Chains A and B, each alone.
Chain A
């Protein structure tokens, strides 16, 4: 403050003296009164929130935490995580294949991938889950054999497609359509010269894709994929329509018996938040791995800078 005044005085004196300000003058930061107003408003809102959380007895925190670590919620949580992991794995692998097909010069192959994406992205995943759940109404029997020829084996669709299988099919095949576009965007983001340089060294296109193009495309692919994984974690709650007891449906089963609806919804939400946080941290480390070579800083500085980025993920003061 006093610095500001003195520096202004110095400048004033120099100007009146008619000589150019040759010496280096200190700078004064601009004041930000808006920030103080916003901070005060936020503090009031935060106080209100904390107040209601602790004083509104209908939250029933004792019930929330009683069920938080109960076996039934754990079982549901396990199924939710299992669904998320398997569906994302199917989505990523199939999405990668579809992306490569989409970029093929063969019009038939790229057209087939386009049609798949059009179908699975163009209908609600909820409807797709129902379709897989009711597949036996469309195809009562599924068989293995030569097309239009003899059959080797035949199964009842109801036996083969359990609610779990239907959930995996519905979520995984839908995810593949989105992942295909994400991977395609990543591949297109890599400079063409990279594939050319790889080919000039005698690499086949497959090897160039695997060793040169995809590792660079990952920088573009990972952030939206993290988004998708977090989205998938929550989308698994739709599987309740197939009567598959994942996290939300497990909570619903409990509150339909004891009528403690709100506490159990909070229990489920807290678990969703917790897993989402874990996924975000995982994403941070994956991103850091694929960012190697992208800065002019040496490796160690690179790492330190990234850790500061992790701190930015956590709630708290941001620069």
Chain B
């Protein structure tokens, strides 16, 4: 069996005295789409942010593609990596935020080109071709010279996805990508994510869209109180939850 893309073993994380993650165990296989659902405050976004070291874990192991994230193992201890080494790891992990976080002072095309040119030091011409192609893929080829403020939320989020993809990531993280959108704009973003999943991208998606989780997800993980309560195929977890907490959560959102 192939090595998983993401492997979490007993991941712990606290903010001051508040324990947010209480031992997360989880695996994401290559080409798998894993959706994390759960009530707010359950630690699902924090866990996602740990995967690219935007948050530091306090204990446990979090390995992406064979490398511990943010740490290096030396003599039975995990030593924290320097800033550059962490940046190096993040190049291969794309992230999409709830609030898009596009760079407002750059045009759509500049947003997509920035990281490949400045971080990967690729030639402008190559990056430009790829950026135009990616914008075409998310249906925004004609918006390339506009600024983010001139786009709708759904369009901004699609640019954010193109921006992340321009780095050719091996893993994509989505942090509630449709939660800040007007209801009628949710579909266009989910469509882009669905086609990305069909292409075989490995994805971890924190979401409240149960329909998306059921239809696109290979695995659904239900988190509560900083632990994984249950996980399995969407049909199992969403239709026949075994745990009382899962049942009570689903009865509120479905």
Is the pair A204, B84 in contact by a Cβ cutoff of 8 Å?
Answer: yes
Interface residue? A298 (CB, 8 A): yes
> Among the listed B88, B99, B114, B148, which residue makes an inter-chain contact with A201, where contact means beta carbons less than 8 Å apart?
B114
In chain B, what residue has the closest Cβ to A201?
A: B115
Interface residue? A226 (CB, 8 A): no
Q: Give the Cβ gap from B45 to chain A, nearest Cβ, in Å.
A: 12
| With A193-B97, A200-B95, A202-B90 as contacts: A216 and B54 at CB distance below 8 Å | no
Cα separation A207 to B114 with both chains bound (whole Å) = 11
| With A202-B115, A205-B83 as contacts: A216 and B105 at CB distance below 8 Å | yes
Cα separation A198 to B90 with both chains bound (whole Å) = 10
| With A193-B101, A203-B118 as contacts: A296 and B149 at CB distance below 8 Å | yes
Is the pair A298, B119 in contact by a Cβ cutoff of 8 Å?
Answer: no
> Among the listed A197, A207, A296, which residue makes an inter-chain contact with B103, where contact means beta carbons less than 8 Å apart?
A197
Interface residue? B231 (CB, 8 A): no
Is the pair A202, B119 in contact by a Cβ cutoff of 8 Å?
Answer: yes
Q: Give the Cβ gap from A155 to chain B, nearest Cβ, in Å.
A: 40
Interface string of A120-137 (1 = CB under 8 A from B): 000000000000000000
Sorting the interface of chain B by its residue count into under 10, 10 to 19, 20 to 34 or 35 or more gives 20 to 34
Is the pair A202, B106 in contact by a Cβ cutoff of 8 Å?
Answer: no
Interface string of B59-86 (1 = CB under 8 A from A): 0000000000000000000000001100
On A, residues with C-beta under 8 Å from B are: 191, 193-194, 196-205, 207, 211-212, 215-216, 290, 292-296, 298
Is the pair A292, B105 in contact by a Cβ cutoff of 8 Å?
Answer: yes
Q: How many A-B residue pairs have CB under 8 A?
A: 75
Instruction: List, in ascending order, chain B residues with CB within 8 A of A199's CB.
Output: 54, 87, 90
Instruction: List, in ascending order, chain B residues with CB within 8 A of A296's CB.
Output: 149-150
On B, residues with C-beta under 8 Å from A are: 52, 54, 83-84, 87-88, 90-91, 93-95, 97, 99, 101-107, 114-115, 118-120, 147-150, 163-164, 167
In chain A, what residue has the closest Cβ to B52?
A: A200
Instruction: List, in ascending order, chain A residues with CB within 8 A of B102's CB.
Output: 197
Is the pair A293, B148 in contact by a Cβ cutoff of 8 Å?
Answer: yes
Cα separation A198 to B160 with both chains bound (whole Å) = 12
> Among the listed A202, A211, A298, which residue makes an inter-chain contact with B150, where contact means beta carbons less than 8 Å apart?
A298
Instruction: List, in ascending order, chain B residues with CB within 8 A of A290's CB.
Output: 105
User: Can you list 15 pairs linking A and B with CB atoms under 8 Å apart?
Assistant: A193-B99, A194-B101, A196-B54, A199-B90, A201-B90, A201-B91, A201-B164, A201-B167, A202-B87, A207-B119, A215-B105, A290-B105, A293-B106, A293-B147, A296-B149
Cα separation A275 to B94 with both chains bound (whole Å) = 50
Is the pair A201, B119 in contact by a Cβ cutoff of 8 Å?
Answer: yes
Instruction: List, in ascending order, chain A residues with CB within 8 A of B163's CB.
Output: 201
Instruction: List, in ascending order, chain B residues with CB within 8 A of A194's CB.
Output: 101, 103
Instruction: List, in ascending order, chain A residues with CB within 8 A of B91's CB.
Output: 201-202
Instruction: List, in ascending order, chain B residues with CB within 8 A of A216's CB.
Output: 103-105
